[in-house]
């Protein structure tokens, strides 16, 4: 069962060779209710509102949930039977999100937003400088990447073009030219304290929730640049705000936002937009990847793998996602 309209007809035809495919958006409530017990596989984008805990409990045949979003923190793991395999769509957005991460990092490094707004409002003049502090040169500075999956390695590839040595924080050791690999909490501390620019491309799990908190921020370089294109909740909101307020050379550029009542929200507790060392955009990096059609195709290929009796890729560990306050998107 496909619960979204982002899947192309070609992909639906490919799935139809191996399965009876239903599109939930084409069904009325009565038909849906009747179908649910027979459904083996769910292909989901956002979590659909009709899949309430009650309806989900009636899906006794369910064996696979494939996400079209890269992350799976919107999946209600607590309500799933143990036999249900959940697959993320890691890798489907890598190039597009990596480009976006670089646009945030370079905008922050060169203070593009601030400069543009300052010239626009006649608050800057030519030949005025802040002794070179206005612009950060990235060449030969250290780039830290938290989470070295598809996005992380695409970020690194671009970083090598800028001649930046790369520190990767990940579960598995990375063997790649120009990349130093770090694991565990001690490794994370090393990456954060020694990097000049850091891009967060981690999944949001129980283990990574608020992984960048006040104690970690305190060890970072005073003029470091932190970029988040993963999930807002990976960074402690209030700790970050205090850090930005008291360290004007430190910069945070984000496309992702904290959750309010289980949903990502542009409304923050703290007034980030009053700070000139903050850049925020409305979660467009992933959607920009969607327009290529790649993410849906990528997810379908994984479902086809499962339908052919092969082990699907990107199986996540439910134990890492079992949280009471499930977050959408």
Contact set for a copy of itself, span 144-173 (CB under 8 A): 157-163
Q: C-beta of 157: minimal distance to a copy of itself in Å?
A: 5
112 touches a copy of itself (CB under 8 A): yes
Long-range contacts of 113-121 (CB under 8 A, 24+ apart): 113/279, 114/276
Site string for a copy of itself, 280-309 (x = CB under 8 A): xxxxxx-xxxxxx-----------------
DSSP-derived secondary structure for 134-195: TS---TTS-EEEES-SHHHHHHHHHHHHTT--EEEE-SS----TTEEEE-HHHHHHHHHHH-
Count Cβ atoms below 10 Å from residue 255 Cβ, excluding itself: 24
Q: How far apart are CA 181 and CA 22, in angstroms?
A: 44
The tokens for 259 are 């959750």
Q: Kindly identify the residues of this chain, within the stretch 231-260, that bind a copy of itself according to CB under 8 A.
A: 257
- Output the six-digit token pair for 173: 């050791």
Piece of the chain touching a copy of itself by CB under 8 A; list 14-22, 65-73, 124-132, 301-309: 124-132
Q: Are 212 and 232 in contact (CB under 8 A)?
A: no
Q: Which of 131, 175, 261, 324 binds a copy of itself (CB under 8 A)?
A: 131
- Structure-token match 């009325």, residue found: 28
* Interacting residue with a copy of itself among 4, 35, 40, 110 (CB under 8 A): 110
Binding segment (CB under 8 A) for a copy of itself, from list 11-19, 35-43, 118-126, 165-173: 118-126
**Of 32 and 104, CB closest to a copy of itself:** 104
Chosen residue from 118, 239, 315, 323 binding a copy of itself by CB under 8 A: 118
Stretch that binds a copy of itself, among 2-10, 137-145, 170-178, 297-305 (CB under 8 A): 137-145
Q: What is the DSSP letter of 37?
A: G
Reduced to 3 states (helix: H, G, I; strand: E, B; else coil), residue 260 is strand
- The residues that touch a copy of itself, with contacts defined as CB under 8 A, are 95-96, 99-100, 102-104, 106-107, 109-110, 112-113, 115-120, 124-129, 131-132, 134-135, 137-139, 157-163, 257, 264-266, 273, 279-285, 287-292
């Amino acid at each position: 069962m496909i619960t979204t309209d982002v899947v192309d007809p070609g992909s639906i035809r490919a799935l139809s060779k191996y399965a009876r495919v239903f599109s939930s958006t084409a069904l009325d409530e009565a038909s849906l209710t009747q179908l649910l017990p027979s459904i083996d596989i769910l292909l989901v984008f956002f979590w659909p509102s009709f899949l309430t805990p009650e309806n989900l409990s009636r899906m006794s045949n369910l064996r696979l949930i494939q996400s079209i979003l890269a992350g799976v923190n919107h999946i209600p793991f607590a309500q799933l039977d143990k036999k249900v395999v959940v697959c993320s769509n890691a890798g489907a957005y890598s190039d597009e999100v990596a480009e976006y991460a670089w646009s945030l990092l370079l905008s922050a490094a060169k203070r593009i937003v601030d400069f543009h707004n300052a010239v626009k409002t006649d608050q800057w003049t030519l030949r005025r400088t802040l002794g070179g502090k206005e612009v950060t040169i990235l060449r030969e500075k250290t780039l830290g990447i938290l989470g070295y999956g598809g996005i992380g390695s695409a970020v690194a590839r671009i970083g090598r073009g800028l001649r930046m040595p790369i520190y990767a924080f990940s579960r598995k050791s990375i063997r790649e030219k120009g990349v130093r690999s770090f694991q565990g909490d001690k490794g994370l501390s090393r990456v954060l304290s020694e990097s000049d620019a850091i891009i967060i491309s981690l999944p949001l799990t129980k283990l990574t929730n608020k992984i960048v908190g006040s104690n970690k921020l305190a060890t970072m370089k005073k003029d470091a640049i932190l970029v988040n294109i993963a999930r807002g909740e990976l960074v402690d909101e209030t700790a970050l705000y205090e850090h930005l307020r008291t360290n004007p050379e430190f910069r945070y550029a984000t496309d992702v936002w904290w959750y309010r009542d289980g949903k990502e929200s542009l409304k923050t507790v703290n007034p980030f937009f009053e700070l000139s060392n903050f850049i925020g955009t409305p979660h467009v990096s992933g959607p920009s990847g969607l327009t290529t059609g790649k993410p849906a195709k990528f997810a379908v290929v994984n479902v086809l793998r499962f339908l052919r009796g092969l082990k699907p890729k990107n199986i996540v560990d439910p134990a890492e996602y079992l949280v009471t306050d499930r977050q959408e998107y």
